[in-house]
Structure 1
Amino acid sequence: MRITVVGAGAMGQLVGARLALAGEDVVLLDTDERVRDTLSARGVTLHTEVGTEHTPVTASRAEDVHGPVDLVVVFTKGFHTRAAVDSVGHLIGPDTLGLTLQNGLGHADVLADAFGADRTIAGVTDFPADLVETGRVHTATRGSVRIGGVGEGDGAAHVAEVLNRARLNASVVDDVRVPVWEKVAFNAALNTVSAITGATVGGMGASVQARRIVEAVMDEVAAVAAAEGVGFSLDRVRAAVGNAFAHHGDHKSSMLIDREAGRRTEVDFIGGAVVERGRAAGIPTPVLATLCDLVRMLTEPGGH
């Protein structure tokens, strides 16, 4: 299968490497020449609790890849989604599938504009991916991917088969909005609190105050999701948060990493989108709205 992975960050390198190890024809796209050169020269090494795997990979600019391809997987930051999808327009044929496993809300709509809803697949993954340096990713053998079609197409089942050959433990769900919103609840709570306080996951878990804020955010996200007709299990999200507190104590959230590096965060897609949808539905989200404003104050010149 010809697969293009757009965005060669930690998750892009992890999934791209796993697919390459499974024998798929994979190209990683990135706008950073240094990233492309390093990946093409060194490949990707995955470090897990049971050992190390290495695979050569091909990294390229979008314009240097010839289409159509069979599958495009988007892993860019949310604010780059539109440009990323536009950059691979020449790779999209009548049967090309688009998959987003990005954090936050709204990405599937962008892909559906380009691929068509029936060929757009959305989902989430809970595989950890910590980028030690370009070409070296710390991850784990335990994790899963949950995906589902946005429209009426049946491509999700085929994509799940491909991901499972790559040992990515994929399953197809009836309503993909459920896992997407569950992960939004998880990320909106943990990412914002960590970005503001500088706390690791374990640091938040050890704080009664942080736990109280996390719980309040999850409740607000659930209320907004319900207003959109999506009922997800808060107990499942609480269990995921508890597992993160217990087993990923040293982990830094992506939003904290971005803040420390002076990069733009995804707060508008992970938290801000929930606040906006809540406002439109008449659902107040005072805790999350305040957290998002604090993140912006700390990371954006002048805030907004």
Structure 2
Amino acid sequence: MTISIAVIGPGAIGTAIAAVLHEAGNTPLLCGRTAREHLVLQDKGRLVTVPGPVWTDPEELDGKIEVSLVFLAVKTTQTEAAGKWLSALGRQGTVVCVLQNGVEQVESVSMYCPLAQVIPSIVWFPVQAQSDGSALLRGDVRLTLPVGPASRVVAEALKGTRGSVKLAADFLTQAWLKLLQNAAAGLMALARRRAGMFGRSDVAGLTLAYLQECLSVARAEGAQLGDEVPQALLDKFLAFPADMGTSILTDCVAGRPLEWDVRNGVILRRGHSHGIPTPISDVVVPLLAAASDGPG
């Protein structure tokens, strides 16, 4: 079997990446937990169908396939479960592009594929899983990666597709900028409300205060982010459609484990390591952890 690219985790983000590759004539190998005949992406009123199957057992492909690029699109709470695929596909010379939240992607993934070149990425496009199993794309497919040879492999794979890749010399700053956005989105899970909630003056004030706290931690970590960032991120939430959700809200409503640690807990941990007061994180993180893991 000759396939050069694999997508592990055919959820919303994985479906979007698979769809833009398929449209350009480079249909990827699909790897996941649940067998499916195909994937469907809804995009601006049209449907893109990516042929399957979705493979569920790496042993079925043992010795039959080698890939040069793997997109890991499972949530961080599912990385361990995807470890068998990472181990099977992440061989010497393989590039593994991690499409996950947070600033600790390389550390959390490399243990499962020590021979591969693991690179982090920032996913900028909103895409939501739908009840019928399809994914709804609500923006352009954009990724940011650090400058380097492995990142150029990803850029080349998406060249000629509707997806775009930006190689950032200061990737750390961009990664923390996205983390601040994700951290604020955690408030939506606690309120169980969509983006319209940021139109409340009290929620807007809380969001600004929380983002200011997060900004102090990001700067201590070396991110070059200006004073305007908290307001700019709040303005972004305010500009979203009122009914736009986020993955952590969807998981919370569905009773699934939440990515609370990589999106919010990391702010608390890194803040404490730098001696930075984090009074809002001290409240937000335990509540998100309890919403995710219980008991009760």
Instruction: Tell me if TM exceeds 0.5.
Output: yes
Which residue pairs with 2:170 in the alignment? Answer: 175
**2:218 aligned partner, one-letter code:** A
Tell me, yes or no, if the aligned pair for 2:86 and 2:112 is still in contact at 8 Å.
Answer: no
CA distance in 1, matches of 2:287, 2:249: 13
Alignment-mate amino acid for residue 28 of structure 2: V
Match of 1:277 among 255, 262, 270: 270
Instruction: Provide the residue aligned with 1:4 in structure 2.
Output: 6
What residue in structure 2 maps to residue 133 of structure 1? Answer: 131
1:57-113 alpha-carbon deviations (Å, 9 max, x no partner) = 331124133443111111112122244234321222222001112012322213344
- Distance in 1 (alpha carbons) for counterparts of 2:158 and 2:196: 30
Unmatched tracts of structure 1, length 5 or more: none
Mapping of residues 217-256 of structure 1, within 5 Å: 217-233=210-226, 235=228, 238-256=231-249
Which structure dedicates a bigger proportion of its chain to helix?
A: 1
The alignment's TM-score, normalised by the length of structure 2, stands at 0.88
Q: Which of 104, 107, 121 is matched with 2:105 structurally? A: 107
Q: Which runs of 5+ in 2 are unaligned?
A: none
Matched with 2:17 is 15
The aligned amino acid for 2:260 is V
Once the 2 structures are TM-superposed, how far is the Cα of residue 126 of structure 1 from its aligned partner? 1.7
**Residue 82 and residue 174 in structure 1: after superposition, are their counterparts in 2 closer, same or farther (change >3 A)?**
farther
Please identify, of 249-258 and 80-89, the stretch whose mean Cα deviation from structure 2 is larger.
80-89
Q: Which shows bigger deviation, 65-74 or 181-190?
A: 65-74
Q: Which residue of 1 aligns with 2:74?
A: 76
Q: How many residues align?
A: 291
Does the alignment pair 1:196 with 2:190? yes
Q: Deviations over 1:201-232 (max 9, x none)?
A: 1222x111111121122222221122222223
Q: 1:16 to 1:231 in 2, by over 3 A?
A: same
1:165-213: CA deviations, max 9, x gaps? 331121111132222111110010122x111111211222x11111112
Judge conservation of contact 1:185–1:221 (CA < 8 Å) in 2: yes
What is the TM-score with the length of structure 1 in the denominator? 0.86
Task: Kindly report the root-mean-square deviation, in angstroms, between the aligned alpha carbons of the 2 structures.
Answer: 2.4
| Aligned sequence identity (%) | 25
Tell me, yes or no, if the aligned pair for 1:189 and 1:213 is still in contact at 8 Å: no
2:119 aligns with one of 118, 121, 124: 121
Q: 1:259 to 1:62 in 2, by over 3 A?
A: same
